[in-house]
Amino acid sequence: MSIKITSDSTCDLTKEQLQAYDIDLLPVTIVKDNVPYKDGVDISPTDIFDYIDSGAGTCHTVAANVADYTELFSRLADKYDAVIHFNLSSKMSSCHQNAVIAAQEFENVYVIDTKNLSTGSGHLVLDAAIMAKEGRSAEEIIERVNGLMDKVEASFVIDSLKYLHKGGRCSGVAALGANVLKLKPCIEVKNGAMGVGKKYRGNFEKVILEYVRDRLKGRDDIDTRRIFVTTPPGGVSPEIVQSVIDEIKKYKTFDEIFTSEASCTISTHCGPVTLGILFYRK
């Protein structure tokens, strides 16, 4: 049985993973200076950061529309026994709703609301792709993914509320207060929505190691198969990323530790100096 796995561009898997498991991505749209661009195709996170930091304006994201999904599914549905598509959480975007509408035209297209974002969704996409490569049926894959969905633990720390504020995701007063106090909020995904967890204080390099300890130390409920360290390109130094990996190894021995770059969609709202560790609970 041939099963095709697809996802929105927000899953933030590495290029190597996408190629190895033949995963197709549907880009979300980024609007810059009233011009639409396709996430990861004709715009990069660096383009977004340069534009916003120049003071020229802000960028915002637009969900892939029904026609986008219809085109994707039309291209693949006749070539495979089934197509399983993964979306950014329906509480964060209308991508899922649009994909569901488009899928109604096809008998063999299944749409999954990951209830997550970035490599939180990426874990599910990757596991589905691994199972597809093993020859599992669509029903088996969907059942397994649904069982894993609530076990994903996704969080990240952002250095500044500037981008969230410019994108309309937090008030100017909140952003000012956080900057004055040098607060670095931890954003957590729970029940498909983003919320603020612990608020750290200090420089990012110190804070990010404290965050890793808080997430991993002393816990026996963590699935150690795989962990992602995800950050926008260029914003966090390789030295800090390596220190995060070293800190992870102090507390847990994961079978695989992957570093991945956040997509334009994630970067637009979080800014360049952002880092998260994303893994499964048992």
Residues contacting 75, CB < 8 A, separation 6+ = none
- Co-location of 57 and 190 in the same domain: no
Same domain, 264 and 160: yes
- pLDDT at position 170 is 41
**DSSP letter assigned to residue 39:** B
Same structural domain, 16 and 82: yes
Residues near 91 by Cβ (< 8 Å), separated by ≥ 6?
115, 191, 192, 193
State the total domains in the chain.
2
229 and 199 fall within a common domain:
yes
What mean pLDDT comes out for the span 241-262?
97
Q: In terms of domains, do 185 and 270 share one? A: yes
In the predicted model, what is the mean pLDDT of the chain?
A: 91
Which has the closest alpha carbon to 159: 275, 244, 50, 239? 275
pLDDT of res. 169: 44
Model pLDDT for residues 130-143, shown as the tens digit of each residue: 999 999 999 999 99
CA angle 150, 77, 7 (to 5 degrees): 35
Among the three residues 123, 149, 175, which one is the final residue of a domain in this structure? 149
- Write the CATH number for 277: 3.30.1180.10
Task: Give Cβ neighbours of residue 270 (< 8 Å, ≥ 6 apart).
Answer: 156, 158, 163, 164, 187, 232, 262
- Residue that is last in its domain, among 110, 125, 149: 149
The string of pLDDT tens digits covering residues 116-135 is 999 999 999 999 999 999 99
Please tell me the predicted confidence (pLDDT) of residue 160: 76
User: Looking at residue 164, what is its pLDDT?
Assistant: 63
Residue 59: per-residue pLDDT: 86
Q: Are residues 155 and 113 in the same domain?
A: no
At 168 the pLDDT is: 46
The answer on 133 and 28 residing in a single domain is yes
pLDDT in tens, 152-171: 999 999 987 766 655 444 43
Q: Is residue 19 pLDDT above 90, yes or no? A: yes
Domain extent at residue 26: 3-149
| Whether residue 82 has pLDDT greater than 90 | yes
| Final residue of a structural domain among 149, 175, 209 | 149
